A and B are shown apart, each in its own frame.
Chain A
Amino acid sequence: MANSDTRFNSISTDTQMAQRKSRNPTLWMSALLGAILTILVLPAVAILIGRSVSITNPDASFGGFTLQHFARFLTTPDVLTSTYNSIVFATLSTVVALLFGGVQAWLVERSNMRLKSLAYLTTIISLGTPYILYVGAWLFLLGRAGPVNDVYRLLTGSRGVMIDVYSMSGMVLIEGFLWSPLVFLLLSSTFRVANADLEEAARMSGANIFQTIWAVSVKMAMPAILALALFVFIRAIEAFEVPAMVGMPGGVDVLTTDVYKSIKETIPPDLGYASAYSVVLLLVVGVLLYFYGRLAKNAGKYSSITGKSFRPRPFDLGSYRWIAEALVLFNFVLLLLLPLLALLWLALQPFMRAVRLSAFPAMSLDHFRVVFASEYYRELAMNTIVVGVVAATAAIILTFFVGWLSARRKPGGVLLDQLATAPLVFPGIVMGVAFLMVFLSIPLPIYGTIWALAITYTVRYLPYGLRYSYAGILQIHKELEEAAGVAGAGPLTMLRRIMAPLLSPALVSGWLFIFLIATKELAVAALLSGPNSQVVAVGMYDLWVNGQGGELAAFGLVWAAVMTCLAFLFYALTKNKA
């Protein structure tokens, strides 16, 4: 904690001194934030580009200029295959996530179905559960020896499988499942503010339910859906968990696993090639983000909260209501109940085995006992909480200032906004590579400590923090600031006494959101975690890779239960705001 605390203290004392010296404290604030963000963001990009054009020596140190790493793209077909796989994977999993999450969002927000709380429960618990746990559970459920294929064999008498989960289709399904709760959460806010009058008008003009949904509800939400689709697509291009756990055993390589493998499965690690790969990946994501930015600008085009009295009325599904309810129930079973039951099964069995009546007597709490008794798990949990708290706090504090400077069009605000948004182009695995090289090449003793993770996470989640603070500041009218100014308060006093309290719901939601995703993050930590800076996600991945599925499930269930409580808090806060 000491490092970042003193850093922030020095920021505030620096700025306070600046205020006394200068007539324009805002300018100083911009300059200081600009310096901090530049130090945080730029070295990673620079080192990545530098290493991608440097020779890697046999002892893994770096030599002179070369284009050989990029030249390898031309001679090996792997890159094309991986790129193709990445695109197919991202496109199809986006479709799955939108179908699962989107349909449910509309039903829950706009229809008169029952069981709505089930949909929220599914979403909230999934927010708190590490991806690895879900992926592990679904791999077990859909695996050759899992219950799905068991039932299939029982019904058909065949000896084969209905689905081979270690394949592109398995990857698509699981990634789609993973993202559908977030799609649900984001689209439900879009549907919530849609004007019910238009749907009713359509119904009165003689359109049936499906025509109305298609021609009015979906069309109105289309800009938001498209923007969200591109967002999920980008995240799927960057995804690491599913490609690593499902794709690599199945021989389906994507861009992110290629980067990982060139470091982890080659002796000596090919950092030059990995950097070249990362640079390509940065460019791809950068281009996609550019289009996302254009789409997202239009996302609210048809939202229709106006000054006139507004009360969304639920859409009567009539005799189709049971279909909607069945669908939500199906989602609940598929996305929540089955994975949790699978994890419970694995946690209670002495070794990973198929679900059989004959295996029930072997159940024991041994794995839970190990988890509670072992210092290792306590350390994992503590490290993760420290890293999550520090990263969320640092990112929120930085983006609070950046958000204000940017939203109020202060000098340098636009540039700061761009700097704080820039980390979005880093896929997690690439960010891991870049910061690994940064920490290895600076003389400070950060490498291998949890501070390496805390700093990297802070940078990674700056864009998310900014989204919360920027949007929150826009809702606060400028006249409050002007009043403070008239009363003689400087900008820092104003920010502390007026903005921070008013903004606190947005800041707390942002903090919780960052904390929740930071504690799940694997891709960054996979390369940065040292022996005494292990975090939960890495520990879980190690358990998976080392074949301790039972302990993984037991620890995962305990951890997910704690995180779910935080996710409930997050949900309660954001719901009140909306």
Chain B
Amino acid sequence: MKFAINAAWLAGAVGLALWSLPAYAANDQLIAAAKAEGKVVWYTTMIVDQAVRPIVAAFEAAYPGIKVEFARGNSGDTALKVINEGQAGNRLGDVFDGTGTYASVKAAGMVAPYVPDSAANLAAEFKDPDGYWHAANIYYLTAAYNTDLVSAEDAPKTYEDLLDPKWKGQMAWAVTPEPTGAAGFVGNVLMSMGEEKGMAYLKKLAGQKITNMSSSQRTVLDRTILGESPIALMIFNHHVPISKEKGAPVEWMRMEPLVSSASLIGLVKNAPHPNAGKLLIDFILSNPGQQVIANASYLPSNPNVNVQYPELLPTGPKPFKANFMSPDVVEKNLAEWIDIVNTIFM
């Protein structure tokens, strides 16, 4: 496997240290213990055909004899599963991820700290000092439009543009309880416009009758591609090139500030397969694991890995501003944002 190492990293001492690490950072003792467990159960929020299947295939190829079982859901589903199982004392899941999962699971006291070797690659903002979470991948969320139905000139460019009466009933978003759903949009508006102006804006926006989807952001974008809702809000920008490659009539917009969020991966406390779970986390954060994520057109958290579409990044060829929904911010505000969505928009 080839690694394109960023020049800045190569120059630094840390980069040199990394270079000397083997492809799979995990130590033999962990691998042996994980193999004895034989499998790992991963509760994920990633889209199955785009990312989960390739990651599972790469992991199983790297560590033959350890099977990955997975179940996909949004952050809420995933947290619910972990919490339910923890309370029943009947744990099935070992590893969870998601943009909103960690906050709930941590509140229920069901996360075990673990610092994988591969976490050394991550920037400080993408890992917890105590090792409770690490960012598996980064998301940037914005609006997208169907290019058959909306021209590039007509497409709304700013948040104010969304209030144009011609978009009434033409927009959709996901109302899943996570910072990457409508709640994150609310948070972003409040953070960038301030409480008072932000709420006034949201009340006006509610008049636009946005279609509330209880499904993934992927289906919101699909709805736009199909032409059901010409405009999609709060979709992952990396989903757009994935669809465009297949010929879908869709384009994303740099509606600033974008929402940025990280999918946090963590180990379940008293997990049934703790070592295999640790190994999976280590693999996902490692260079090879992050490369699989990048090859799936997702945006890796590990800066050693080249992304497929650099323009998806705020630091890419066409820079954009984004508000990072850090785990702290999410933990403090998510419930309030969800409440605003439920009362104003539903």
Interface size on B, residues (CB 8 A): 58
> Which residues of the partner chain A approach B176 to less than 8 Å between Cβ atoms?
265
Question: Can you list the 5 inter-chain pairs with the closest CB atoms, starting with the nearest?
Answer: A145-B227, A547-B218, A531-B71, A547-B219, A440-B88
Q: Mark B283-315, 1 if CB is under 8 A from A, else 0.
A: 000000000000000000000000000000000
**Which A58-106 residues have a C-beta within 8 angstroms of B?**
58-61
How near does chain A come to B121, taking the closest CB pair, in angstroms?
Answer: 29
Interface assignment of B83: CB less than 8 Å from any CB of chain A: yes
Q: Choose from A143, A261, A530 the contact partner of B92 (Cβ within 8 Å).
A: A530
Known pairs A144-B227, A547-B47; list 7 more (Cβ under 8 Å).
Answer: A59-B109, A351-B222, A351-B247, A352-B226, A439-B88, A440-B88, A547-B215
Interface assignment of A508: CB less than 8 Å from any CB of chain B: no
Residue ranges of B at the interface with A (Cβ–Cβ < 8 Å): 41, 43, 47-49, 53, 69-73, 75-77, 79-81, 83-85, 87-88, 90, 92-93, 100, 103-104, 107-109, 172, 175-177, 211-216, 218-219, 221-222, 225-229, 243, 246-248, 334-335, 338, 346
Q: Across the interface, do A551 and B216 meet the contact criterion of CB distance under 8 Å?
A: no
Q: Across the interface, do B226 and A145 meet the contact criterion of CB distance under 8 Å?
A: yes
Q: In whole angstroms, how far apart are the Cα atoms of A266 and B108 in the complex?
A: 15
Q: Mark A538-578, 1 if CB is under 8 A from B, else 0.
A: 00001011111101000000000000000000000000000
How near does chain A come to B264, taking the closest CB pair, in angstroms?
Answer: 14
How near does chain A come to B181, taking the closest CB pair, in angstroms?
Answer: 9
> Which residues of the partner chain B approach A145 to less than 8 Å between Cβ atoms?
226-228
Q: Mark A407-450, 1 if CB is under 8 A from B, else 0.
A: 00000000000000000000000000000100111000101100
Q: Across the interface, do A249 and B213 meet the contact criterion of CB distance under 8 Å?
A: yes
Interface of A is mostly: loop
Interface assignment of A532: CB less than 8 Å from any CB of chain B: yes
Q: Across the interface, do A531 and B70 meet the contact criterion of CB distance under 8 Å?
A: yes
Q: In whole angstroms, how far apart are the Cα atoms of A370 and B53 in the complex?
A: 11
> Which residues of the partner chain B approach A378 to less than 8 Å between Cβ atoms?
none
Residue on B nearest A440 in the bound complex, by CB: B88
> Which residues of the partner chain B approach A301 to less than 8 Å between Cβ atoms?
none
Q: Across the interface, do B76 and A448 meet the contact criterion of CB distance under 8 Å?
A: no
How near does chain A come to B250, taking the closest CB pair, in angstroms?
Answer: 9
Q: Which of B79, B107, B225, B226 has the most CB of A within 10 A?
A: B226
Q: In whole angstroms, how far apart are the Cα atoms of A441 and B84 in the complex?
A: 10
Q: Across the interface, do A268 and B90 meet the contact criterion of CB distance under 8 Å?
A: no
Q: Across the interface, do A447 and B88 meet the contact criterion of CB distance under 8 Å?
A: yes
Q: In whole angstroms, how far apart are the Cα atoms of A515 and B307 in the complex?
A: 48
> Which residues of the partner chain A approach B76 to less than 8 Å between Cβ atoms?
264-267, 269
> Which residues of the partner chain A approach B71 to less than 8 Å between Cβ atoms?
530-531, 534
> Which residues of the partner chain A approach B103 to less than 8 Å between Cβ atoms?
267
> Which residues of the partner chain A approach B335 to less than 8 Å between Cβ atoms?
267
Q: Across the interface, do A448 and B214 meet the contact criterion of CB distance under 8 Å?
A: no
Q: Given A251-B346, A268-B104, A268-B108, decide whether A447 and B85 contact each other with a Cβ distance below 8 A.
A: yes
